[in-house]
Amino acid sequence: MSQKVLLSAKEINIILHRLACQLIENHKDFKNTVLIGIQPRGVFLAERLKKLLENEYQIANIELGYLDITFYRDDFRRGDKPLEANKTKIDFLVEDKNVVFIDDVLYTGRSIRAALTAIQSFGRPNEIELLTLIDRRFSRHLPIQPDYRGRQVDAINNEKVKVMWEEQEGEDKVYMINK
């Protein structure tokens, strides 16, 4: 097994600033926009972006929620081990809001399809966009594309993209792992 660094902490920081600026361009003051981190790993990216938007770009009162998609996935009964659900925390209405789903890696698109189904329990959004740190563009099973992407990666099937977050693994880094 070998691994190669795709993004360093400095590069991740630059990408986060670019993504924040793109969000500001499209959502201005975020009065009608909510951010939804897809559990488990999209939450770290969503929290980082919210903090950046508030602290560096002085945008106040950004609503952030966490969405668990475990039991909305089309493959949740196929695994050998029991699944552990994460918390959904959405303490606001999404009815007529612009929702930005946030996840670390867009791979097959199945997680996003599940999120589209799950969010309906919280109302009918005006619009849904997708922001992802890594877009594995040649791996899609469903016709889903990100509106905002940090980096596009061409990974073949035996390669895995691993995003490391300071809050979880003690460092910010993205690796390409060849099994």
Q: Which residue has the tokens 């097994």?
A: 1
Q: What does the block give as tokens for 17?
A: 């600033």
One digit per residue, the tens of pLDDT, for the chain of length 179 reads: 789 999 999 999 999 999 999 999 999 999 999 999 999 999 999 999 999 999 999 999 999 999 999 888 776 555 566 667 788 999 999 999 999 999 999 999 999 999 999 999 999 999 999 999 999 988 888 999 999 999 999 887 688 999 999 999 999 999 999 87
3-class SS of residue 51: helix
Strand order in the sheet with 63-67: 63-67, 33-38, 98-106, 127-136, 148-153
Per-residue pLDDT reduced to its tens digit, 71-114: 887 765 555 666 677 889 999 999 999 999 999 999 999 999 99
Q: What is the mean pLDDT of the chain?
A: 92
Q: Which residues contact 117 (CB under 8 A, 6 or more apart)?
A: 72
Q: Classify residue 175 as left (phi > 0), alpha (psi -120 to 50) or beta.
A: beta
